[in-house]
Amino acid sequence: MSGCPDVVVLVVAKAPRPGAVKTRLAADLGDVGAARVAAAALLDTLLVAGSVFSHRVLALTGDLADTGVIDTSELRREVANWRVIGQSSGGLGHRLAQAHLDASRLGRTDDDRARRVLQIGMDTPHVSADLLEDSARLLCGSDVDAILGPAEDGGWWVCGTSEPSHAAVLADVPTSRSDTGTLTLAALQTVGARVGLVAALRDLDTLDDAKVISAEHPGLHASAALRSQGVR
């Protein structure tokens, strides 16, 4: 990204194996249908993030070559453009914190300053390149140490940190709750981070989410995967 070359984008994701992803969506589409949407959503995410950032890390749990009936050939071609690392053990918060630390050291020696890290997941395939650029630009400014983008369900869709020590607080924040976003903001501020907020987005978690996102963003691979299953 021009103007802020030390930012690395970090995507934290699961391999789209049926039964392991999009479990709330699976209640309506079934495990296989939900996994197809997850694969498409991850592809959308990698494509848009890859169009903005030259430093790219995918922290992956699971194996893209072991997803049962889900075809991940196109996804694997895109992943070839990314640095892939495994996720650590432990709860989601701990895995997020460790992934931030790992990504911040990309291409660095012990004497180099850690990279700024902009982390997203696979639940917002509709995020735009412009919004990612704006988020990175805010993170690179002199007025903030971290950024947070709230999700409409109370969580967050993006978290950016300029220091790994700030990201360490993620390990102790409860995840998948309606107050996760608020708790994350408070945790960052508790360690002295000046936090800038960016626009809220809706996560693709439920059938209602899928219908809204597909209608508003029909060109997504995720939207095509939903339409193929009758979701309009």
Please indicate, yes or no, if residue 170 is contained in any of the structural domains.
yes
Instruction: Print the domain residue range for 51.
Output: 7-227
> Do 40 and 224 contact (CB within 8 A), yes or no?
yes
Rounded to two decimals, what is the model's pTM? 0.94
Handedness of CA 79, 84, 90, 96 (dihedral sign): negative
Please indicate, yes or no, if residue 36 is contained in any of the structural domains.
yes
Domain count, the chain: 1
Q: Measure CA 14 to chain center.
A: 10
> Do 79 and 44 contact (CB within 8 A), yes or no?
no
- pLDDT (tens place) for every residue of the chain, 232 residues total: 556 778 999 999 999 999 999 999 999 999 999 999 999 999 999 999 999 999 999 999 999 999 999 999 999 999 999 999 999 888 898 999 999 999 998 866 555 667 899 999 999 999 999 999 999 999 999 899 999 999 999 999 999 999 888 999 999 998 888 899 999 999 999 999 999 999 999 999 999 999 999 999 999 999 999 999 999 8
Distance of alpha carbon 92 from alpha carbon 99, whole angstroms: 10
Which residues, at least 6 apart from 206, have a Cβ–Cβ distance to it below 8 Å? 24, 25, 28
Please indicate, yes or no, if residue 61 is contained in any of the structural domains.
yes
11-29 tens-digit pLDDT: 999 999 999 999 999 999 9
* H or E stretch at 45: helix 23-52
CATH number at residue 23: 3.90.550.10
116-132 tens-digit pLDDT: 999 999 999 999 999 99
